[in-house]
Amino acid sequence: CAEEGVRILGEGKFLVSDSFPGNERTKYCLTSKIPLGVILAIPPFNYPVNLAVSKIGPALVAGNSLVLKPPTQGAVAALHMVHCFHLAGFPKGLISCVTGKGSEIGDFLTMHPGVNCISFTGGDTGIAISKKAGMIPLQMELGGKDACIILEDADLDLAAANIVKGGFSYSGQRCTAVKVVLVMDSVADALVDKVKAKVGKLTVGPPEDDCDITPVVTESSANFIEGLVMDAQRKGATFCQEYKRAGNLIWPLLLDNVRPDMRIAWEEPFGPVLPVIRINSVEEGIHHCNASNFGLQGCVFTRDINKAILISDAMETGTVQINSAPARGPDHFPFQGLKDSGIGSQGITNSINMMTKIKTTVINLPTPSYTMG
């Protein structure tokens, strides 16, 4: 951010009206980028520091001040971080932190006339915020139903490793988690066996023990996930593991033979439960991906780069990863979602651009007939 800030803000433009009829070279246009003012940053509970910093960095380097509204279940981490900024000598007020429940202070903050831009990452409250916010730049990254399409020629070991990492790290509580596997039927048995073996090795327990799968964030999240699992069970999905839950802790679960009439085929569990849909053609996979109301990321596993690029073009998502699980980083890559997954594009340069406005000043010289003598 620091480097980009120097480059981009220093890049002011100087234009001349050399082809404007009757005004040849009489208009000089100076353009600069200036800060918006106050940026409201609302990061999510799953990465309360990382996804706050990805907003704070660009906001500050572009010359703005910032109000941070941390997630209720990540507020302590955010307060410690803001304290560090103050210890480092940041003037008080450059970053302010306001804690509280979104239901109580959300509207006050997002509709506040002093807020000039909102950068939000989280769930579908983002849709409500975007309707209320008014005419200010918005950067919204909401949920996703990131699909992983596996072709017949894929490296199945690579795919399985990425599916498990992508689907189950952070207990599946990531916007860019792999949320549905769309695998060609001819390789589905082999892929499911490999994924199942890896899921069986995940450790389950408290975060203090460094377990792979830990309790999900709230009881209502756990109940929601359970609702999706029960729906899939009723409608005949194959359970690759036994369903187990203790409080908010849900054991990792791979659901095979999921069909489009099951809720889990479309909804985002935000937990350690991953559906597998067997497909008979690549088109079927693309169709499922595009029919989703989400469009964050997707991935495709194949050894045929030409096919991969065609599939990437056809998938209606902000990003498609070829031969890797979806992910936000590296930080300077653009990151954006389509449809209900959001608006605006993040990434260092894109965020700086969004958090600045263009200002032009035009100097009007005398007409060409004016003589200097």
Ligand X SMILES: *[C@@H]1O[C@H](CO)[C@@H](O)[C@H](O)[C@H]1NC(C)=O
Report the SS3 class of residue 171.
Answer: helix
The helix (run of H) or strand (run of E) holding residue 176 is none
Beta carbon nearer to ligand X, 44 or 295: 295
Beta carbon nearer to ligand X, 235 or 339: 339
Least distance (Å) from ligand X to the CB of residue 273?
26
Contact criterion met (CB below 8 Å) for 33 and 8:
yes
Rounded Cα gap, residues 252 and 196, in angstroms: 10
Position 316 contacts ligand X (CB under 6 A): yes
Position 310 contacts ligand X (CB under 6 A): no
Rounded Cα gap, residues 210 and 46, in angstroms: 16
Strands 297-301 and 319-322: parallel
Choose the stretch contacting ligand X; rule: CB under 6 A; options: 105-113, 152-160, 273-281, 282-290: 282-290
The helix (run of H) or strand (run of E) holding residue 16 is strand 13-16
Beta carbon nearer to ligand X, 65 or 312: 312
What tokens appear for 315 in the block? 């998938």
At a CB cut-off of 8 Å and minimum separation 6, what does 123 contact? 44, 142, 143
Contact criterion met (CB below 8 Å) for 143 and 124:
yes
Rounded Cα gap, residues 176 and 196, in angstroms: 21
If binding means CB under 6 A, how many residues of this protein chain bind ligand X?
5
Beta carbon nearer to ligand X, 263 or 287: 287
Least distance (Å) from ligand X to the CB of residue 289?
7
Rounded Cα gap, residues 217 and 226, in angstroms: 14
Site for ligand X in 326-365 (CB under 6 A): none
Beta carbon nearer to ligand X, 172 or 285: 285
Choose the stretch contacting ligand X; rule: CB under 6 A; options: 87-95, 169-177, 238-246, 285-293: 285-293
Q: Identify which of 118, 110, 132, 140 has the alpha carbon closest to the alpha carbon of residue 339.
A: 140
What tokens appear for 257 in the block? 């033979």
Contact criterion met (CB below 8 Å) for 31 and 15:
yes
What does residue 111 show for φ and ψ, rounded to 5 degrees? -100, 5
Least distance (Å) from ligand X to the CB of residue 294?
13
The residue whose two tokens read 């609302």 is: 42
Least distance (Å) from ligand X to the CB of residue 287?
4
The crossing angle, in degrees rounded to 10, of helices 102-110 and 125-132 is 30
Rounded Cα gap, residues 116 and 29, in angstroms: 26
Exactly one of 40, 95, 180, 286 binds ligand X (CB under 6 A); that residue is: 286
Known catalytic residues are: 141
What does residue 41 show for φ and ψ, rounded to 5 degrees? -110, 125
Beta carbon nearer to ligand X, 150 or 320: 320
Which residue has its beta carbon closest to ligand X? Answer: 290
Site string for ligand X, 227-266 (x = CB under 6 A): ----------------------------------------
Choose the stretch contacting ligand X; rule: CB under 6 A; options: 123-131, 256-264, 283-291, 302-310: 283-291
Residue 213's DSSP bridge partners are 204
What tokens appear for 168 in the block? 């189950």
Beta carbon nearer to ligand X, 196 or 287: 287
Position 287 contacts ligand X (CB under 6 A): yes
Choose the stretch contacting ligand X; rule: CB under 6 A; options: 75-83, 86-94, 220-228, 286-294: 286-294
Beta carbon nearer to ligand X, 258 or 286: 286
Exactly one of 53, 314, 322, 338 binds ligand X (CB under 6 A); that residue is: 314
Amino acid (one-letter) located at 342: G
**Contacts with ligand X, residue ranges (CB under 6 A):** 286-287, 290, 314, 316
